[in-house]
Structure 1
Amino acid sequence: MSDLYTSTVTSIGADAPSMFEAGVVILFAEPVPPALADVSVVHSPSGELARDIQAGDTISIGVAEYTVVRLGDVASNNLRELGHVVLYVDAGDQKLLPGAIHVDGPSPAPQSGARITVRGA
């Protein structure tokens, strides 16, 4: 497995924990639009996404590791351009928005200072 993308969580929006309870993690790189700051996990990338994300890749946030099940058509591009993607944890057959990624893994609880890593399968 090779690292495709790395970033560090710089802050957690005040309303983000209620999103985590619903299995949703909204990632947004600095600078985050004010309208999304309260619900986002704000992060600072250390480089660009090396290739498009694919099913079977893994996304780690701190010690939690998620396996990519499927992704929307613009998810990789949004991560590349804006540092923005929405992770739906154990979403089942829920319809995905174009910028979302369905992942399997533990209940999310990102913390400030955690490392975000996307690894190729």
Structure 2
Amino acid sequence: MSTTLWTTTIAQVGGEAGEMIDAGVLILFGDPVPQALADISIVHTGASAVSRALQPGDVFEFAGRSYTVDEVGGHAMTNLIDLGHIVLYVNQPDQKLLPGAIKVTGPVFDVPAVGETISFVGA
């Protein structure tokens, strides 16, 4: 049985977030989001506490699709806990892993709808 490690609900999709998503980059930010990042972010609200650190093999669930976590940057958990902020790269194995980022593999990201759930699930 899988365990939900973290879950939240999409509150707003920034006007330019679709362009980032089309490029395989998803920027999540908890509400309140800095205005400078609001246009490119998926803003979420009502996040649960993180039950443990994310690790390769865990699953990222977004817009009704599942992705395998491949790498977790050294600051990703701190950013997620403190700000609800994380940057995810899908299907970009050659992308240098930034400290606050996570790499995942799976289907191409779709622009989500407000009210959809985002979660990380233990492997």
| TM-score range normalised by the length of the shorter chain | over 0.9
Q: TM-score, normalised on structure 1? A: 0.96
- 1:58-106, CA deviations, whole angstroms, 9 ceiling, x for partnerless residues? 1101311111000110111111111000000001121011000000011
Alignment of 1:1-121 (within 5 A): 1-109=2-110, 110-121=112-123
Aligned residues: 121
1:14 and 1:39 in contact (8 A); partners too: yes
Cα distance in 2 for partners of 1:25, 1:45 equals 19
- 1:18-67, CA deviations, whole angstroms, 9 ceiling, x for partnerless residues? 00110000000000000000000000133211111000001101311111
Cα distance in 1 for partners of 2:47, 2:102 equals 21
1:6 and 1:116 in contact (8 A); partners too: yes
Cα distance in 2 for partners of 1:46, 1:26 equals 15
What are structure 2's unaligned runs of at least 5 residues? Answer: none
Identity of aligned residues (%): 47
Amino acid at match of 2:114: S
Cα distance in 2 for partners of 1:8, 1:81 equals 17
